[in-house]
């Protein structure tokens, strides 16, 4: 392909032609070598991920020894650290991760989309499920049509406290709870004009999420879910390993000065933690189309899915759908 292009571009002047041919020849060699190297590195990573999934840490360590890409280097260091017992400051690593790289653009896109939703729906009541420290919610509430009353449901006391502090000036009903008991115990007359959840509903197993959504549908005007459109691939299959390798390679390159901290204290433990045998599953992600099917199954209607941001892990999307709150019930 490149060879053809080079030939087509060759000028009539022979001397100049030789120079151009030489330059393209070098370029072609360089590209060939880069492709070869990339294939070789991909093979090492794949070998390492396969070994991790088989619980063979030594073989994984051997596969990425002397790594030549951000991911091989990070994984090699992580596996060596695991042996030497060195531990990174994980809260600091997560802070660096969430406040840097693609998360900056991601959260901007999320808060803008939520703000636009409030401007359209003009809610007087809002429920945020798994609000975390409020980093997606707080900036969205700056739009004029944002509600004054917010209900927060969050099982982490530390994060809930941070969110409440961030929402100073708003009328806040803070529930230190998981969403499952909260949704199951909603009084008949409870209605939220908007119920939102950003990157939190994937923490529920699919069948538990079915129940939560079914419990919510009669109490929600508009449901807004932000999640990642993650492909459905068999665990540790060649396609899954390739997806992980490509995604983590991309993710790591988004960090520069603090790449080692982010990689060793957060991204590598997350990558290896989801592969090693006996790992406790912590996320139940799925493609956007399956999210749409799931909320429809729970009784929500008018489902719309909008792509929000091309994040390294997978594209983020906003799903909105209408619930069916009883018109006569008073607003919370």
Ligand X SMILES: C[S@@+](CC[C@H](N)C(=O)[O-])C[C@H]1O[C@@H](n2cnc3c(N)ncnc32)[C@H](O)[C@@H]1O
224: tokens are: 């807004």
Which residue's CB is nearer to ligand X, number 138 or number 240?
Answer: 138
CB 245 within 8 A of CB 237: no
Which residue's CB is nearer to ligand X, number 71 or number 179?
Answer: 179
Which residue's CB is nearer to ligand X, number 76 or number 267?
Answer: 267
CB 189 within 8 A of CB 123: no
- Look at residues 176, 177, 175, 180 and name the one whose alpha carbon lies nearest to residue 208: 180
| Nearest-angstrom CA–CA distance, 91 and 161 | 17
- Shortest distance in whole angstroms from residue 208 CB to ligand X: 8
What are the b/e assignments for 129-147, b being 16+ CB within 10 Å? Answer: bbbbbbbbbbbbbeeeebb
- Residue of closest CB approach to ligand X: 132
Which residue's CB is nearer to ligand X, number 79 or number 153?
Answer: 153
Which residue's CB is nearer to ligand X, number 136 or number 220?
Answer: 136
- Look at residues 228, 195, 207 and name the one whose alpha carbon lies nearest to residue 103: 228
- Shortest distance in whole angstroms from residue 225 CB to ligand X: 11
Angle at 210 between CA 172 and CA 303, to 5 degrees: 80
- Shortest distance in whole angstroms from residue 151 CB to ligand X: 12
Which residue's CB is nearer to ligand X, number 199 or number 311?
Answer: 199
Which residue's CB is nearer to ligand X, number 63 or number 136?
Answer: 136
- Shortest distance in whole angstroms from residue 235 CB to ligand X: 21
| Nearest-angstrom CA–CA distance, 27 and 63 | 29
- Shortest distance in whole angstroms from residue 234 CB to ligand X: 24
Q: What residues line the site for ligand X (CB under 6 A)?
A: 129-132, 135-136, 153-156, 159, 178-180, 198-200, 203-204
| Residue 51: other Cβ atoms inside 10 A | 20
- Shortest distance in whole angstroms from residue 59 CB to ligand X: 32
| Nearest-angstrom CA–CA distance, 106 and 119 | 20
- Shortest distance in whole angstroms from residue 129 CB to ligand X: 5
- Shortest distance in whole angstroms from residue 174 CB to ligand X: 13
Provide the angle, in degrees to the nearest 10, between the axes of the packed helices 206-216 and 288-297: 50
| Nearest-angstrom CA–CA distance, 269 and 148 | 40
| Nearest-angstrom CA–CA distance, 309 and 78 | 29
CB 125 within 8 A of CB 332: yes
Which residue's CB is nearer to ligand X, number 159 or number 262?
Answer: 159
Task: Detail the DSSP E strand segments found in 199-332.
Answer: 220-228, 301-310, 315-322
Which residue's CB is nearer to ligand X, number 70 or number 115?
Answer: 115
- Shortest distance in whole angstroms from residue 213 CB to ligand X: 13
């Amino acid at each position: 392909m490149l060879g053809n292009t080079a030939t087509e571009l060759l000028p009539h002047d022979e001397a100049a032609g030789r120079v151009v041919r030489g330059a393209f020849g070098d370029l072609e060699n360089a590209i060939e070598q880069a492709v070869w190297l990339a294939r070789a590195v991909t093979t090492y990573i794949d070998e390492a991920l396969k070994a991790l999934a088989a619980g063979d840490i030594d073989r994984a360590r051997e596969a990425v020894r002397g790594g030549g890409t951000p991911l091989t280097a990070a994984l090699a260091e992580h596996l060596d650290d695991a042996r030497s017992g060195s531990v990174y400051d994980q809260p600091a690593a997560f802070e660096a991760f969430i406040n840097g790289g693609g998360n900056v653009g991601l959260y901007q896109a999320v808060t803008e989309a939520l703000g636009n939703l409030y401007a359209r729906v003009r809610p007087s009541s809002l429920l945020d499920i798994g609000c975390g420290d409020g980093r997606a919610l707080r900036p969205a509430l700056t739009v004029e049509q944002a509600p004054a009353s917010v209900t927060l449901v969050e099982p982490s006391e530390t994060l809930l406290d941070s969110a409440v502090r961030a929402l100073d000036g708003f009328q806040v009903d803070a529930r230190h709870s998981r969403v499952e008991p909260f949704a199951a115990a909603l009084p008949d007359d409870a209605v939220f004009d908007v119920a939102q959840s950003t990157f939190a509903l994937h923490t529920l197993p699919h069948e538990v999420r079915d129940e939560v959504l079914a419990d919510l549908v009669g109490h929600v005007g508009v449901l807004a879910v932000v999640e990642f459109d993650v492909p459905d691939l068999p665990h540790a299959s060649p396609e899954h390993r390739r997806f992980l390798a490509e995604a983590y390679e991309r993710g790591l390159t988004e960090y520069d000065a603090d790449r080692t901290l982010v990689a060793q204290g957060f991204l590598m433990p997350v990558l290896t933690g989801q592969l090693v045998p006996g790992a406790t599953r912590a996320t139940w992600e799925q493609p956007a189309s399956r999210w749409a099917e799931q909320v429809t199954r729970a009784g929500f209607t008018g489902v719309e899915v909008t792509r929000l941001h091309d994040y390294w892990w997978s594209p983020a999307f906003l799903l909105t759908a209408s619930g069916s709150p009883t018109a006569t019930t008073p607003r919370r």
